[in-house]
């Protein structure tokens, strides 16, 4: 089964080029040309990963997409695509799991996407295992009493 990626960018050239590259490498790619459209698609469908430009209709539009992605119960991996690499590693760029700096070579892009998808899936499985062993507070009270 192909992994599904939502690609959000207001630059049609970037959007179509990345879509073609990812589809040639066996990804199912949906696109959005604005943060608002990207957020609508996040709500109406499920994705394995969201890649969004940071600056679109506003300087922080991509961060709104990342926040919306993190609020989805299906919990997609997130990557911020930017021509403006973070100067401060503790800054707001860290809201995404990965930062992809434009321009980016095809092989680097694919390698980083694959690595992020594997890492994200491992984290999801670890959280699920830990949640399985958590005892609800009501049961803890019953055992203590």
| Sheet with strand 3-8: strands edge to edge | 27-32, 3-8, 49-53, 77-82, 98-101
Span 3-57, pLDDT tens digits:
999 999 999 999 999 999 999 999 999 999 999 999 999 999 999 999 999 899 9
CATH code of the domain covering residue 114: 3.40.50.2300
Say if residues 8 and 65 touch (Cβ distance below 8 Å): yes
Domain range holding 100?
Answer: 3-144
β-pairing, 49-53 with 27-32?
unpaired
- β-partners of residue 4 are 28
How many angstroms separate the CA atoms of 101 and 109, rounded? 9
pLDDT in tens, 77-132: 999 988 876 665 554 444 777 888 877 788 988 998 988 888 888 887 887 777 66
Provide the 8-state DSSP code for 88: S
Residue 143 tokens read as: 């055992």
CA atoms within 13 A on the CB side of 71: 10
Q: How many structural domains compose the chain?
A: 1
């Amino acid at each position: 089964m192909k992994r599904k990626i939502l690609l959000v960018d207001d630059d049609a050239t970037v959007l179509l080029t990345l879509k073609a590259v990812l589809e040639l490498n066996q990804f199912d790619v949906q696109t959005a040309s604005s943060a608002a459209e990207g957020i609508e698609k996040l709500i109406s469908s499920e994705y394995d990963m969201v890649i969004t430009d940071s600056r679109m209709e506003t300087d922080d539009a991509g961060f709104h997409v990342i926040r919306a992605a993190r609020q989805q119960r299906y919990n997609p991996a997130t990557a911020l695509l930017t021509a403006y690499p973070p100067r401060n590693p503790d800054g707001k760029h860290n809201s995404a799991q990965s930062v992809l700096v434009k321009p980016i070579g095809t092989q680097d892009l694919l390698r980083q996407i694959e690595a992020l998808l594997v890492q994200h899936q491992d984290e999801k499985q670890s959280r699920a295992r830990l949640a399985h062993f958590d005892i609800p507070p009501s049961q803890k009270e019953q055992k203590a009493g």
